[in-house]
Amino acid sequence: MTEFKSTTMKPTHTEKGTSQKSSLFNVEENEVIRNKRSIPWVRLEEGLHTSGCPLCEIVLTSAHKHLDSLLYEYVNDVSVRKKLHASFGFCNHHAWLAKEVERELKSDGQHLATLHESLLKAELRLLQEASGTKRIAAKKKETNPVLQHLLKTFAPSGECLLCASSRQTEEFYASQFVLMYSDNEFRALFEAETILMCRPHFLSVMREAHDRATAEYFLNQQTKKIERLLNQLKLFLEKHDVQHQHEPRGKEWTSWLQVLEHFSCKQGIDRLWDPYSPSNQNK
């Protein structure tokens, strides 16, 4: 494992002069102090008090809160409608999460019904326009311009609005990890054994790390945590051998679940970061 002596150092700006360096330091330190009194720090702290990947947790919580306020207050909002029309509804995950949130609001479906009414009307208009076209079945699919036009009008022109806001949340909080990493309170929480960034979010943070010390800190932490997880996974598998089967079970018993989360994020996080995901093919 690579040892990085600078992991306890604060961010440095070697390309700047000494006086500039100290003033930049002050700006960053002030920003960290200011940030500790802000909502993003509260969210970051909440994420760091759970287990597994804190960024997955923040994105999940934020999508839940967003849906809650959308259904409670914004079902008639014009910009929400516009986005919902562009994507022809929510993606699969956020649609069924919306159903859960509707239930939590103790609603019988009225919010989601109101939100989707104009969308369903638009869908019917598209179908009626298509039905009114006589030449629709006249030619083969590949050469039929009417059918090609129909498929084009039915195709979404935007992504699910919750996916879009989750993407923004991911980017924003990845930068917050980088901003806050020199803070002692952050480090104590982040370095806890229970915290392990999933692979995609580790890479999101690394993309935001603009200097060597920051990159080394997160790389060093991730390396230590993955080494620990691999040892636990090995132990879990060893304890399946007949001669070890009666040994007491410890933390290693959930290691396979942590490995699953490490590579694929917590349940409910879409593969927004994955260029091979079908939903990202056209972006």
Q: Which residues bind Zn ion (CB under 5 A)?
A: 53, 55-56, 91, 94, 160, 162-163, 198, 201, 265
| Choice between 163 and 229, CB closer to Zn ion | 163
What does the alpha-carbon distance between residue 37 and residue 7 come to, in Å, rounded to a whole number?
25
Cβ-contact 180, 40 below 8 angstroms: no
| Choice between 11 and 258, CB closer to Zn ion | 258
Cβ-contact 7, 223 below 8 angstroms: no
Joined tokens for residue 225: 């945590």
> For 175, phi and psi rounded to 5 degrees?
-70, -30
| Choice between 11 and 52, CB closer to Zn ion | 52
Cβ-contact 89, 170 below 8 angstroms: no
> Which residue type sits at 174?
A
Joined tokens for residue 271: 């593969």
In whole angstroms, how close is the CB of 57 to Zn ion at the nearest point? 8
What does the alpha-carbon distance between residue 155 and residue 149 come to, in Å, rounded to a whole number?
10
| Choice between 11 and 81, CB closer to Zn ion | 81
In whole angstroms, how close is the CB of 94 to Zn ion at the nearest point? 4
In whole angstroms, how close is the CB of 265 to Zn ion at the nearest point? 5
In whole angstroms, how close is the CB of 40 to Zn ion at the nearest point? 17
| Choice between 204 and 232, CB closer to Zn ion | 204
In whole angstroms, how close is the CB of 244 to Zn ion at the nearest point? 32
DSSP class of residue 211?
S
